[in-house]
Amino acid sequence: MFSKYTVSKYHKLYDEACLLLNYFDSTDRQLKLYLFSGEIFENKVQLNWPDPFNRNSSYTYIFGSAINGTLCIYDNEKHSTIILWNPATDESNIVPVNKARLYYEFEFNYTIHGFGYDHVRDDYKIIRHVDYIEDYWQEAPPGPYWDMYSLKSNSWKKLYVDMRKSYYLSFLGIDAYLNGVCHWWGKTERETYVVSFNLSTEVQVTTLLPSDLHDLKWVYRYLAVLNGHVAMISNYAKTTSFHTSISISCELGVS
């Protein structure tokens, strides 16, 4: 399912591309957002987050990558404040609260799993998973536990799909978006795989990781788009090894 691949190929994805570096500067202990541009990234400009992320001290992260110049930014603490933001025009769109989830008297955690563009409906979508915190007295309400936001309707709807949530919650670089399909890592004791969710058809496909890669110890896994393909990076203890493989899951997820 995964094949070896060279990464030197030119891809139109990289025409006039800039880089956003969102980081915690370990020299002066501050959060910073920079835009790098130019052939060798010689131009560096500091950017400010839009309201309300410019006035709080919690971590603001960018989900996935920019789509048509629009970024999905969120608070890393609860994944409850989400804003779609175009840094070039400074236009921003605050994603509303999903009131359907506030009905329950349960505490819950959100985890954003995907942000992408639905080519069929010309719409931006966000996929979010909800985890209810069960206790001795009450069981979590019945599912579904998946919600999808549509920018066009500016509302959330529940997704009746049976798919596994991301194995690595609240980590950076563990998801990828390509051509209308959101990808993230799923895992059971026996298997590691990539879950690919198509934003237009609302159908998921899973792609199994070869067992020798599943068996790695002390591993961090990342997903990235390299030259127009979804690539997985396995990063494991002591020896730094970049295992870049192409997953056919991105093709499957599209069909």
Establish if 224 lies at the interface with other proteins (CB under 8 A).
yes
Q: Alpha-carbon distance 245 to 52, whole Å? A: 39
Residues 161-220 that bind other proteins (CB under 8 A): 171-173, 220
Least distance between other proteins and beta carbon 85 (Å): 8
Angle at 219 between CA 197 and CA 235, to 5 degrees: 85
Helices (H), 131-222: 211-214
Q: Is 232 in the site for other proteins (CB under 8 A)?
A: no
Residues sharing a CB contact under 8 Å with residue 19, sequence separation 6 or more, in sequence order: 35, 36, 37, 41
Going residue by residue from 120 to 159, which x/- string records binding to other proteins, judged by CB under 8 A? --xxx--------------------------xx-------
Told to check if 78 binds other proteins by CB under 8 A, we report no
Structure tokens at 101: 């989830």
- Cross-strand partners of 220: 235
**Cis amide leading into 52 (omega within 30):** yes
Q: Which of residues 48-77 bind other proteins (CB under 8 A)?
A: 59, 61-62, 64-66, 68-71
3-state secondary structure of 184: strand
Which residue in the set 82, 84, 163, 199 belongs to the binding site for other proteins (CB under 8 A)? 84
Dig out the tokens for 14 from the structure: 């990289």
Over its C-alpha atoms, the chain yields an Rg (Å, rounded) of 19
The reply to whether 24 sits near other proteins by the rule CB under 8 A is: yes
Q: Give yes or no for residue 82 binding other proteins (CB under 8 A).
A: no
Enumerate binding residues for other proteins (CB under 8 A): 6-11, 13-27, 31, 35, 41, 59, 61-62, 64-66, 68-71, 84-89, 91-93, 122-124, 151-152, 171-173, 220, 222, 224-227, 233, 235, 237-238, 240, 242, 244
